[in-house]
């Protein structure tokens, strides 16, 4: 398998907190930052291994936010360009200033409603134009109205509820100016190819595939896990994809805030004019700035068909740097935090991370800002190694010349490198209660995003939620929900860490009153 060229973070070579292997010191003359890295570096030193996870996901963040090749659209057809293909001819610096920015690679990925059409229908091929979302099409006086919009207006962020598995712990979020935060979810081409190839856009087919696997079958008719980008998959259903798309699953969640050029420092945001709803039968658009991005990646690391290991996962989350802390521009202007109201956290907020009433109404004439992030700003500091990797990438090319310098990694969640220990408070934070619950000990028990998990700011993490993700058809007793045994990711074939398959629909002809679909998580 071709290995991508890369530059290991040279600034990190001097960091006392990270041990660097000799091979890491080799710096190549040119790094193809627009290429999505396929694997993370492996080290026998636990500190270096964790640093490798941080480096891998930062390079993923850069590649995903690289400008996509221009897309020329006629009607519903893309006549020029490809979704998800980075434009190697453009520098990352085009993502800067106050002008119109090109679409990023991840913004051209497929949204769930494209992957899982109504009635379990087969989705359209990858390189078709994004249609009007179903929740907008019903409200538009002319459903074709959006097709005549310029390309910068064909993005949608119509969901005001955080894309979250636990409905009682989520809701809309308003920034300190009363602006409503909007959300979207997108998935890459390899996952799309997986869904189309195995027919998992049909919930009934998922159920049949699970039944075959439980019955002992191990061929392609039995349930297959989402792609890791390992050799077997590349030789199989991923073989016809272009090389840049032959990677494991990439699942992203994004959050956008409303921007006002007269009030906000718009040059500090990846910006987009997005369709956010319908007004008087026509599309309603707003200037929005990216405030958060989750990236869940599957890689072929550790692939061993004899041991049944398909690969590995790395979950991560990024935020715009002004979300919860006050910063100063190069001109000496103080930037007001987007979500932090500047007040000291109460004892209850320090204890639980969030204390207050989750907003319930999106249409309020006077939405109340939610000061959810004073806990994170004062108590949940970023680990030193995370701060160091952020500073490194924010100050080197190509990031330093782009808007990405105003974004930071909050952390990753991955299998814990090294021995498990409960000796110190830091050890207990990394190795505590979530291991027995989820079946895997990770490097962090607390990893949340200000704008994506606003109401679970303490003792919560990606794996605690995503360990519950399953396809349809998991065996369970009548009138009960499927169990989630604490088995390791590698040991439980149905532990797929993505809720996307739960968005598949049942064909109308196969719907029966006794068939219950367990949840609609994202």
Percent above pLDDT 70 for the chain: 81
Contact call for residues 130 and 76 (beta carbons, < 8 A): no
Name which of 126-140, 151-165, 181-195, 458-472 the model is least confident about.
151-165
Q: Which long-range contacts (CB under 8 A, 24 or more apart) does 210-214 make?
A: 210/471, 210/472, 210/473, 210/474, 210/475, 210/494, 211/473, 213/493, 214/475
Q: How many CB atoms lie within 10 A of CB 512?
A: 8
Average pLDDT score over the chain: 83
Q: What is the dihedral angle through the alpha carbons of 218, 222, 227, 230, rounded to the nearest 10 degrees?
A: 20
Q: Which of 492, 170, 522 is nearest to 313 (CA)?
A: 492
Q: How many residues are recorded in the chain? A: 522
User: pLDDT per residue over 64-91, tens digit each?
Assistant: 999 999 998 877 788 999 999 999 999 9
Q: Which of 233, 137, 244, 151 is nearest to 194 (CA)?
A: 233
Give CA 323 to chain center in angstroms.
Answer: 18
Q: Which of 96-105, 116-125, 128-137, 313-322 shows the lowest per-residue confidence on average (mean pLDDT)? A: 128-137
Neighbour count for residue 382 (Cβ, 10 Å):
15
The tens digit of pLDDT for each residue in 247-286 reads 999 999 999 999 999 999 999 999 998 988 888 877 888 9
* Two tokens, residue 314: 């790395």
Cα 454 to Cα 373: distance, rounded to the nearest angstrom: 7
Q: Are 380 and 446 in contact (CB under 8 A)?
A: yes
Please spell the DSSP secondary structure of 164-198, one letter per residue: -S-GGG----B-TTSPBPEEEEEE-HHHHHHHHHH
Instruction: Give the model's pLDDT for residue 20.
Output: 29
pLDDT band at residue 1, thresholds of 50, 70 and 90?
very low
CB neighbour burial string for 287-317, b if at least 16 within 10 angstroms, e if fewer: bbbbbbbbbbbbbbbbbeeeeebbbbbbbbb
Dihedral sign (CA 484, 488, 494, 496) = positive
Bridge partners of 182, per DSSP, are: 256
Identify whether the C-beta of residue 105 lies closer than 8 Å to the C-beta of residue 71: no
The highest-confidence range among 123-127, 364-368, 374-378, 441-445, by mean pLDDT, is 123-127
Token pair for residue 360?
Answer: 């319930």
Question: Comparing 25-39, 376-390, 429-443, 464-478, which segment has the lowest mean pLDDT?
Answer: 25-39
pLDDT of residue 142: 60
pLDDT band for position 321 (cuts 50, 70, 90): very high
**Position with higher pLDDT, 488 vs 403:** 403
- In this structure, of 5-14, 239-248, 321-330, 353-362, the range with the lowest mean pLDDT score is 5-14
Neighbours of 323 (CB within 10 A): 24
The answer to whether 186 touches 110, Cβ cutoff 8 Å, is yes
- The answer to whether residue 346 scores a pLDDT higher than 60 is yes
Q: What is the pLDDT of residue 6?
A: 33
Report pLDDT for 80.
92
Nearest-angstrom CA–CA distance, 21 and 10: 12
Closest by CA to 78, choosing from 132, 147, 155, 135, is 147
Mean of pLDDT values over 340-352: 73
Higher pLDDT, 31 or 410: 410
Q: Which residue has the tokens 């293909």?
A: 85
Q: In sequence order, which residues have a C-beta less than 8 Å from that of residue 479 and are 6 or more positions away? A: none
The number of C-alpha atoms within 13 Å of 359 and in the hemisphere containing its C-beta is 24
For 503-514, what is each residue's pLDDT tens digit? 999 997 655 433
Structure tokens at 419: 């021995």
pTM summary value: 0.88
Q: How far apart are CA 91 and CA 497, in angstroms?
A: 34
> Containing H/E element for 60?
helix 46-64
Catalogue the long-range contacts made by 167-170 (C-beta closer than 8 Å, 24 or more residues apart).
169/358, 169/455, 169/456, 170/358, 170/455
**Residue that the structure tokens 């590698």 belong to:** 490
Sketch the domain layout of the chain as residue ranges. 10-510
Q: Please tell me which residue, 354 or 45, carries the higher pLDDT value.
A: 45
Helix (H, G, I), strand (E, B) or coil at 251: strand
Instruction: Provide the pLDDT for residue 183.
Output: 93
Task: Give the separation between CA 134 and CA 139, rounded to whole angstroms.
Answer: 9
Q: What is the mean pLDDT of residues 199-219?
A: 97
CA distance 474 to 519: 13
Considering only residues 494 and 521, tell me which one the structure prediction assigns the higher pLDDT: 494
**Helix, strand, or coil (residue 234):** helix
| Number of helical H runs and strand E runs in the chain | 12, 10
- The count of other CB atoms within 10 Å of the CB of residue 89 is 8
- Cβ contacts of residue 169 below 8 Å, gap of 6+? 358, 455, 456
CA-based end-to-end distance of the chain: 32
d(CA 467, CA 498): 8
Confidence check: pLDDT of 12 > 90:
no
Q: 396-424, pLDDT tens digit by residue?
A: 999 999 999 999 999 999 998 988 877 87
Alpha-carbon distance of 64 to 34, in angstroms, equals 8
How much is the pLDDT for 369? 56
Alpha helices, H only, 336-473: 347-352, 374-378, 384-394, 425-431, 434-438, 462-466
Over residues 354-360, the mean pLDDT reads 68
Is the pLDDT at 7 greater than 90? The verdict is: no
Q: What are 35-56's pLDDT values in tens digits?
A: 999 999 999 999 999 999 999 9
Structure tokens that stand for 270 in this block = 């990846």
* Beta-carbon count within 10 A of 355 CB: 17
């Amino acid at each position: 398998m071709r290995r991508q060229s890369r530059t290991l973070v040279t600034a990190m070579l001097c960091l006392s907190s990270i041990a660097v292997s000799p091979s890491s010191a080799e710096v190549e003359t040119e790094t193809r930052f627009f290429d999505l890295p396929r694997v993370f570096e492996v080290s026998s030193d636990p500190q270096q291994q964790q640093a490798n996870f941080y480096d891998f996901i930062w390079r993923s963040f850069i590649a995903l936010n690289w400008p996509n090749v221009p897309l020329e659209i006629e009607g519903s057809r893309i006549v020029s360009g490809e979704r998800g293909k980075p434009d190697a001819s453009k520098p990352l610096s085009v993502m800067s200033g106050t002008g119109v920015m090109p679409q990023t690679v991840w913004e051209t990925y497929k949204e769930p409603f494209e992957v899982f059409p109504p009635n379990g229908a087969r989705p359209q091929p990858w390189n078709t134009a994004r249609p009007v979302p179903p929740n907008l099409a019903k409200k538009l006086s002319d459903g074709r109205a959006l097709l005549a919009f310029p390309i910068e207006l064909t993005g949608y962020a119509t969901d005001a509820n955080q894309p979250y598995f636990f409905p009682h712990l989520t809701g809309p979020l308003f920034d300190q100016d009363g602006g409503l935060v909007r959300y979207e979810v997108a998935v890459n081409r390899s996952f799309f190819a997986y869904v189309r190839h195995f027919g998992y856009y049909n919930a009934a087919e998922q159920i049949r595939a699970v039944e075959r696997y439980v019955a002992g079958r191990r061929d392609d008719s039995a349930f297959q896990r989402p792609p890791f980008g390992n050799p077997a998959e590349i030789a199989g259903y991923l073989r016809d994809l272009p090389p840049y798309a032959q990677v494991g699953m990439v699942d992203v969640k994004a959050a956008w805030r409303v921007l006002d050029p007269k009030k906000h420092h718009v040059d500090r945001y990846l910006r987009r004019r997005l369709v956010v709803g319908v007004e008087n039968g026509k599309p309603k658009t707003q200037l929005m700035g990216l405030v958060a991005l989750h990236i869940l990646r599957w890689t072929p690391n550790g692939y061993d068909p004899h041991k049944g290991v398909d690969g590995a996962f790395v979950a991560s989350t990024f935020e715009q740097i002004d979300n919860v802390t006050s910063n100063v521009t190069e001109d000496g202007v103080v930037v007001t935090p987007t979500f932090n109201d500047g007040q000291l956290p109460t004892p209850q907020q320090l204890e639980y991370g969030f204390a207050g009433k989750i907003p319930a109404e999106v249409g309020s004439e006077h939405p109340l800002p939610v000061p959810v992030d004073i806990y994170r700003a004062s108590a949940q500091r970023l680990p030193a190694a995370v701060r160091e990797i952020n500073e490194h990438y924010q100050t080197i090319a190509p990031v330093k010349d782009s808007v990405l310098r105003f974004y930071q990694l909050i952390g990753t969640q991955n299998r814990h490198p090294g021995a498990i220990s409960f000796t110190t408070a830091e050890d207990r934070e990394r190795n505590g209660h979530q291991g027995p619950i989820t079946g895997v000990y990770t490097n962090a028990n607390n990893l949340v995003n200000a704008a994506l998990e606003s109401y679970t700011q303490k003792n919560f993490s990606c794996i605690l939620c995503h360990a519950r993700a399953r396809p349809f058809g998991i065996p369970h007793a009548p009138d009960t929900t499927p169990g989630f045994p604490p088995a390791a990711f590698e040991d439980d074939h149905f532990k797929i860490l993505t809720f996307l398959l739960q968005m598949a629909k049942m064909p109308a002809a196969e719907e029966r009153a006794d068939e219950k679909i367990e949840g609609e998580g994202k």
